[in-house]
């Protein structure tokens, strides 16, 4: 048997009353408008009419919200819900269906792309104190590692590869660095990787990330992605934990991490006011 939700007589009566009041107020607004615009200039009249239409439209929206028992707190809750849905790429009109599927287990939780960890403990070596790749490491980057990255790019529909250089906390035995001058030339292929001379772990991590990024950029399997070299220096130990000061020769910490993601939206530039 089909049951219909029939509005109560009191609600119908209230709706009729609101509709009648709306008609009466509209007539009064039209009359007031004709009196007000008769004695003003054409430009002021156009501005007045535009503002008047906005006012009438706003009043009608408020009337409709009142008829549906909507209040400002209700709208605030709706705005918060809409923000969460938008951040998860769920259209508002499809939200009920999507949430129902999620509750029933038809939608799996978001699966993040894996992090590819290439540490000295796993056999991925650089020349000591420099960014030069061993032949074995470079060969793996050109074959099995590039294949793994390409597969993940396709699977997760992403287009950015982040190459992050990590070090242990042993100090670099060099007093001056040329990374400010030479990094761009190495990235552009105008200088060899061994031209980089880092003087600290931050520079060493970046130099090694550049070396790996250059090999990946040259691979035709990764033509349509952006490869970004970065440095985490000695600050992050395996497991995404900040160091509290753990000096020593630690192979697991001397590593390259490869993370993939989707290109983010570019935010509008913010212009800062000049200092007085």
pLDDT in the model for residue 167: 93
By residue count, the chain amounts to 276
Minimum mean pLDDT among 73-82, 98-107, 175-184, 255-264: which range? Answer: 98-107
Mapped onto helix, strand or coil, the DSSP state of residue 119 is strand
pLDDT in tens, 122-177: 999 887 788 889 999 999 999 999 999 999 999 888 999 999 999 999 988 888 99
Query: For all residues of the chain together, what is the average pLDDT?
Result: 81
Q: Which residue has the higher pLDDT, 22 or 82?
A: 82
**Domain assignments of the chain as residue spans, ordered by start:** 14-104, 116-261
- Which residues have a Cβ under 8 Å from the Cβ of 16 and sit 6 or more positions away? none
Does pTM surpass 0.85?
no
pLDDT in the model for residue 96: 79
Minimum mean pLDDT among 51-65, 118-132, 223-237, 260-274: which range? Answer: 260-274
pLDDT confidence bin for 3, thresholds 50/70/90? very low
* Cα(84)–Cα(89) distance, integer angstroms: 9
pLDDT confidence bin for 4, thresholds 50/70/90? very low
For residue 215, give the nearest of 129, 135, 116, 151 by alpha carbon: 135
What does the DSSP 8-state code read for residue 16? H
- The DSSP result for 240-273, as a single string, is TEE-S---S--GGGSEEEEEEEPPPPPPPP-PPP
pLDDT in the model for residue 1: 44
* CATH code matching the domain that covers 116-261, chosen among 3.40.50.300, 3.30.1330.60, 3.40.50.620, 1.10.760.10: 3.30.1330.60
Which residues on adjacent β-strands are paired with residue 33? Answer: none
């Amino acid at each position: 048997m089909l049951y219909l939700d029939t509005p109560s007589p009191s609600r119908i009566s209230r709706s009729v009353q609101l509709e009648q009041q709306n008609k009466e107020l509209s007539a009064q607004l039209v009359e007031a408008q004709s009196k007000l615009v008769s004695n003003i200039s054409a430009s002021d009249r156009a501005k007045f009419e535009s503002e008047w239409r906005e006012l009438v439209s706003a009043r009608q929206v408020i009337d409709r919200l009142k008829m549906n028992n909507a209040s400002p707190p209700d709208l605030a809750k709706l705005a918060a819900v809409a923000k969460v849905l938008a951040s998860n790429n769920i259209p508002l009109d499809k939200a009920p269906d999507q949430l129902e599927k999620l509750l029933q287990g038809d939608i799996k939780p978001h699966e993040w792309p894996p992090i590819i960890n290439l540490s000295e403990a796993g056999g991925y070596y650089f020349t000591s104190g420099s960014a030069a790749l061993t032949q074995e490491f470079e060969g793996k980057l050109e074959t099995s590692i590039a294949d793994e990255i390409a597969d993940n790019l396709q699977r997760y529909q992403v287009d950015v590869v982040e190459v992050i250089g990590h070090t242990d906390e042993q100090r670099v035995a060099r007093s001056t660095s040329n990374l400010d001058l030479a990094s761009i030339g190495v990235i552009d292929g105008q200088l060899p990787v061994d031209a980089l001379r880092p003087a600290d772990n931050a520079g060493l991590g970046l130099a090694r990330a550049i070396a790996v990024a250059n090999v990946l950029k040259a691979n035709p399997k990764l033509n349509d992605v952006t490869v970004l070299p970065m440095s985490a220096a000695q600050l992050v130990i395996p497991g995404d934990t900040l160091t509290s000061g753990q000096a020593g020769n630690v192979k697991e910490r001397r590593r390259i991490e490869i993370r993939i993601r989707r290109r983010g939206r570019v935010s509008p530039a913010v212009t800062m006011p000049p200092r007085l």
